[in-house]
């Protein structure tokens, strides 16, 4: 089975880790700016915004640790590699998001029943907008690289940053309405809305990481690419299909994709001829689907394997 260049894999990991370091640095900057915004205004909405930035920092640091583990090569205890470590990062960040939302709800509900006047809203809003600009720019870059590198840890961190941006937008709009109307209850109401939105995003991250840990199949469009590629190697002799593929099983593990299948060839073929065709099929599949690792079992055309699961794809 062919494998990709170790240098190219390490280069991809370096890009992911660099962006996670950048995420941690931006989190520190936004914590400073948003905390200042909360101090000068005494707004529970801005406090909720600042609390989420602490979660951004913790998530980025944990993601860095998990990406470092995920890039380790396969060993005797982990023959398929350590790629699933990224799912722990995604799940951990989702849990952190939900915990931050709980803290925001607690502070907002207290303020809802005991409204307090806000101070220096202009400065507070300016600091919040500035920090959001940093987060938005970084989140955009991270999402692009996450989709290119298939890094769920980076994608989780990017989506959290994007949620932080929308959080800040909601807080700024809410405080703007407070300044215009004088309705102090709008400040905690905005914070509650922010917390509920954060819960939704955190739940999605936890769900996706759980699906990855349970060996989720490849996406339907990727499976179709696999089937189309295999069809190009099928061979007929008259009405009989003498080279065929069945029992295709796939799974995902972080950036890596895996496919196991059976290739049936005529019993009178030499082992060398069958192995040569198998190598061509492997190379074609790995070229068509980035990050794919393929295991193909050779069988005679008239032999069907005994399987424990009768629901395999054919």
Task: Give the pLDDT confidence of 116-153 residue by residue, as tens digits.
Answer: 666 666 777 777 788 888 888 888 888 888 777 767 66
Q: Which of 175, 198, 213 is the last residue of a domain?
A: 213
In a domain, residue 246? The reply is yes
Q: Give, rounded to a whole angstrom, the gap between the first and last alpha carbons of the chain.
A: 22
Q: Please indicate, yes or no, whether residues 103 and 188 belong to a single structural domain of this protein.
A: yes
Q: Please indicate, yes or no, whether residues 198 and 276 belong to a single structural domain of this protein.
A: no
Q: Please indicate, yes or no, whether residues 160 and 265 belong to a single structural domain of this protein.
A: no
pLDDT digits (tens, 9 = 90+) for 151-206: 766 777 777 777 777 777 777 777 777 777 777 777 778 777 777 877 877 787 77
pLDDT at 123: 73
Q: Please indicate, yes or no, whether residues 172 and 44 belong to a single structural domain of this protein.
A: yes
In a domain, residue 306? The reply is no
- In terms of residue numbers, what domain contains 167? 6-213
pLDDT at 281: 94
B/e letters for 287-306, b = 16+ CB within 10 Å, e = fewer, are eebebbbbebeebebeeeee
**More reliable by pLDDT, 267 or 302:** 267
Element housing 15 (H / E): helix 6-41
In a domain, residue 55? The reply is yes
3-state secondary structure (DSSP) of residue 259: strand
The tokens describing 167, both together, are: 């959080």
Number of domains in the chain: 2
Q: What CATH number is attached to the domain comprising 198?
A: 1.20.1510.10
Task: Quickly list DSSP for 40-75.
Answer: HH--HHHHHHHHHHHHHHHHHHHHHHHHHHHTSPP-
Of 46, 52, 50, 33, whose CA–CA distance to 178 is shortest? 46
3-state secondary structure (DSSP) of residue 248: strand
Q: Please indicate, yes or no, whether residues 199 and 262 belong to a single structural domain of this protein.
A: no
The tokens describing 48, both together, are: 């909720």
In a domain, residue 305? The reply is no
**More reliable by pLDDT, 243 or 131:** 243
pLDDT at 14: 47
In a domain, residue 1? The reply is no
Q: Please indicate, yes or no, whether residues 275 and 174 belong to a single structural domain of this protein.
A: no
pLDDT at 4: 42
Task: Quickly list DSSP for 208-241.
Answer: HHHHHHTTPPPPHHHHHHHHHHHHTT-EEETTEE
Of 279, 280, 274, 272, whose CA–CA distance to 301 is shortest? 274
Q: Please indicate, yes or no, whether residues 109 and 231 belong to a single structural domain of this protein.
A: no
In a domain, residue 308? The reply is no
Q: Which of 162, 184, 213 is the last residue of a domain?
A: 213
pLDDT at 225: 92
Q: Which of 180, 213, 246 is the last residue of a domain?
A: 213
Q: What CATH number is attached to the domain comprising 257?
A: 3.30.70.1350
Q: Please indicate, yes or no, whether residues 20 and 94 belong to a single structural domain of this protein.
A: yes
């Amino acid at each position: 089975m062919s494998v990709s260049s170790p240098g190219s894999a390490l280069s991809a990991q370096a890009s992911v880790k660099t962006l996670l370091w950048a995420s941690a640095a931006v989190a520190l900057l936004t914590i400073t700016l948003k905390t200042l915004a909360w101090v000068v205004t005494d707004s529970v909405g801005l406090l909720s915004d600042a609390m989420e930035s602490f979660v951004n920092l913790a998530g980025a640091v944990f993601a860095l640790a998990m990406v470092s583990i995920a890039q380790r090569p396969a060993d005797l205890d982990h023959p398929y590699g350590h790629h699933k470590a990224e799912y722990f990062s995604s799940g951990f960040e989702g849990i952190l998001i939900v915990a931050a939302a709980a803290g925001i709800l607690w502070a907002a509900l207290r303020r809802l029943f005991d409204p307090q006047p806000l101070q220096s809203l202009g400065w507070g809003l300016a600091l919040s907008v500035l920090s959001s600009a940093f987060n938005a720019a970084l989140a955009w870059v991270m999402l692009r690289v996450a989709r290119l590198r298939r890094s769920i840890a980076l994608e989780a961190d990017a989506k959290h940053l994007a949620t932080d941006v929308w959080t800040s937008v909601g807080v700024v709009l809410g405080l703007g309405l407070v300044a215009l109307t004088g309705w102090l209850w709008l400040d905690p109401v905005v914070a509650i809305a922010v917390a509920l939105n954060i819960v939704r995003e955190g739940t999605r991250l936890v769900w996706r990481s759980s699906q990855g840990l349970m060996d989720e199949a490849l996406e339907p469009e990727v499976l179709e690419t696999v089937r189309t590629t295999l069809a190009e190697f099928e061979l007929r002799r008259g009405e009989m299909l003498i080279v065929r593929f069945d029992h295709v099983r796939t799974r995902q593990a972080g950036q890596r994709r895996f496919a196991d299948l059976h290739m049936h060839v005529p019993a009178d073929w030499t082992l060398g001829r069958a192995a040569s065709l198998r190598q061509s099929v492997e190379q074609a599949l790995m070229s068509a689907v980035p990050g794919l690792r393929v295991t193909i079992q050779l069988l005679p055309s008239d032999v069907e394997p005994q399987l424990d699961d009768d629901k395999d794809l054919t």
